[in-house]
C-alpha cells in the first residue's frame, strides 16, 4: 500500500512505492571527495528552493576526456520527497555526458519515480521537489562549463513544475482556441501540480500567471471574432470593396461549406485558381479535380450551381469559368 502523509491536519495524496523506497533508503545519497576523484573532475553544486526551504547538493565525478558523468551522488536538506527526487535525479545522470544530463527534466525525474506510468508519483503540491532536482543539474553543468546557469534557458519558464514556457502556453491557447485554465492544463500540464502558476496566492509568487495569459488571449480572440464578423458582413454586400486576398477567402469559404462536400461525395472536388475583374464582372477561375474532371455536367449543371451559390452569398456580379 502506498503511504499517505498527514501534514498540518490535511491528508496528502498517495506517494508511489518507488518514492517511499527512496525516501527511506536512497541509493545514491553520499558525497564524492577530491581524493576519490583522482584524475577525473569533481563538481559540487548546491541549489535551494525558496518556496519550501529545501536544498540539495549534487556531486558529479566527470571524465574530462569525454565529459561523461562516471558517478553521481547527492545530499538533500529537506523533506522525504526531495530526498527521493534527488536520489532518482542522481541516478539518471550517471553514464550520461554533461550535455545529455542537461536534457533531464523534472518531468523525467517524476515519471521515473512512478509505479504506474499513468499515475503521478507524488502529489501536485510536492512537484517542486523534482524541479529542484532539475535545477541543480543546470547548476552543476554551469560550474563544469564555466557559464551562467541562466544560459541554459532560452525561454521564460512560466510553470516550473511542468517546465512549460510562456510562449508555449500562448501558442497553445490561440492555436486551439482554449477558454479555460482546465483546458490549458489538459493541453500543456501547466498548472497541474503545485498550481502556483495559475493565479496569485500560491506558495510561489510569479510575475505572470496563466490567468493573465488567458485573459489577454480571450480579449484578443474576441476582438478577432468581431473583426471577422465585420469583414463577413461587408462581404455580403460589398464584395467589390474587398482586396484580392479577402475575395479569395470569401469565395473559398463558400466553396468549402456549400460546394465541396457534394462534389467530394461523388469522388470529385474543385480548386479556386484566381479571381479577376473584367468590365465590372468578377471572373472566378476554377479547376475541377477527381471525378468532376470527366463529368458531363461540369460545364452545365454543376458550373451553374457553383455560380448561383457564389452570386447568392456574395451579392456580387460574377462569372465562374472552368480553366
Fold of 1-154: Sufe protein. Chain: A (3.90.1010)
Provide the phi-psi class of 201: left if phi over 0, else alpha when psi is between -120 and 50, else beta. left
pLDDT at residue 260 greater than cutoff 80: yes
Q: The domain 239-322 belongs to what CATH superfamily?
A: Fe-S cluster assembly (FSCA) (3.30.300.130)
Tell me if residue 204 falls in helix, strand or coil: coil
Report the pLDDT averaged over residues 169-187.
Answer: 87
Helix (H) or strand (E) holding 272: strand 268-278
Q: Which residues are catalytic?
A: 52, 129
d(CA 163, CA 223): 30
pTM listed for this prediction = 0.54
Q: Are the C-beta atoms of residues 68 and 62 closer than 8 Å to each other?
A: yes
What local confidence, expressed as pLDDT, does residue 232 receive?
A: 58
Report the range of poorest mean pLDDT among 164-168, 236-240, 298-302. 236-240
Cα atoms found within 13 Å of the Cα of residue 9, Cβ hemisphere only? 0
Which pairing describes strands 164-165 and 157-159: parallel, antiparallel, or unpaired? antiparallel
Alpha-carbon gap, residue 163 to 137, rounded angstroms: 14
In DSSP terms, 165 is beta-bridged to 157
pLDDT tier at 53, thresholds 50, 70, 90: low
**Quick one: residue 8, left, alpha or beta (phi over 0 = left, psi -120 to 50 = alpha)?**
left
| Coil, helix or strand at residue 148 | coil
Amino acid at each position: 500500500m502506498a503511504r499517505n502523509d498527514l501534514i498540518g491536519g490535511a491528508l496528502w495524496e498517495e506517494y508511489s512505492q518507488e518514492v517511499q523506497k527512496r525516501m527511506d533508503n536512497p541509493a545514491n545519497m553520499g558525497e564524492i571527495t577530491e581524493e576519490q576523484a583522482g584524475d577525473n573532475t569533481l563538481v559540487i553544486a548546491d541549489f535551494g528552493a525558496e518556496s519550501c526551504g529545501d536544498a540539495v547538493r549534487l556531486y558529479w565525478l566527470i571524465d574530462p576526456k569525454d565529459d561523461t558523468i562516471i558517478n553521481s551522488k547527492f545530499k538533500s536538506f529537506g523533506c522525504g520527497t526531495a530526498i527521493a527526487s534527488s536520489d532518482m535525479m542522481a541516478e539518471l545522470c550517471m553514464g550520461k555526458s554533461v550535455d545529455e544530463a542537461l536534457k533531464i527534466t523534472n518531468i523525467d525525474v517524476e515519471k521515473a519515480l512512478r509505479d504506474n506510468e499513468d499515475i503521478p508519483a507524488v502529489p501536485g503540491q510536492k512537484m517542486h521537489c523534482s524541479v529542484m532536482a532539475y535545477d541543480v543539474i543546470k547548476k552543476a553543468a554551469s560550474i563544469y562549463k564555466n557559464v551562467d546557469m541562466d544560459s541554459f534557458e532560452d525561454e521564460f519558464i512560466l510553470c516550473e513544475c511542468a517546465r512549460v514556457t510562456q510562449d508555449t502556453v500562448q501558442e497553445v491557447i490561440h492555436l486551439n482556441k482554449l477558454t479555460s485554465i482546465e483546458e490549458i492544463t489538459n493541453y500543456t500540464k501547466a498548472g497541474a501540480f503545485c498550481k502556483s502558476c495559475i493565479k496569485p496566492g500560491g506558495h510561489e509568487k510569479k510575475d505572470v500567471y496563466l490567468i493573465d495569459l488567458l485573459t489577454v488571449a480571450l480579449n484578443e480572440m474576441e476582438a478577432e471574432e468581431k473583426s471577422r464578423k465585420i469583414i463577413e458582413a461587408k462581404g455580403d454586400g460589398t464584395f467589390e470593396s474587398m482586396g484580392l486576398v479577402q475575395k479569395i477567402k470569401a469565395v473559398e469559404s463558400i466553396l468549402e461549406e456549400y460546394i465541396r462536400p457534394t462534389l467530394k461525395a461523388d469522388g470529385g472536388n474543385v480548386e479556386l485558381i484566381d479571381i479577376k475583374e473584367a468590365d465590372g464582372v468578377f471572373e472566378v477561375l476554377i479547376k475541377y479535380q477527381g471525378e468532376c474532371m470527366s463529368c458531363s455536367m461540369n460545364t452545365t449543371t454543376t458550373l451553374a450551381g457553383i455560380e448561383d451559390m457564389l452570386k447568392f452569398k456574395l451579392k456580387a456580379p460574377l462569372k465562374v469559368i472552368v480553366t
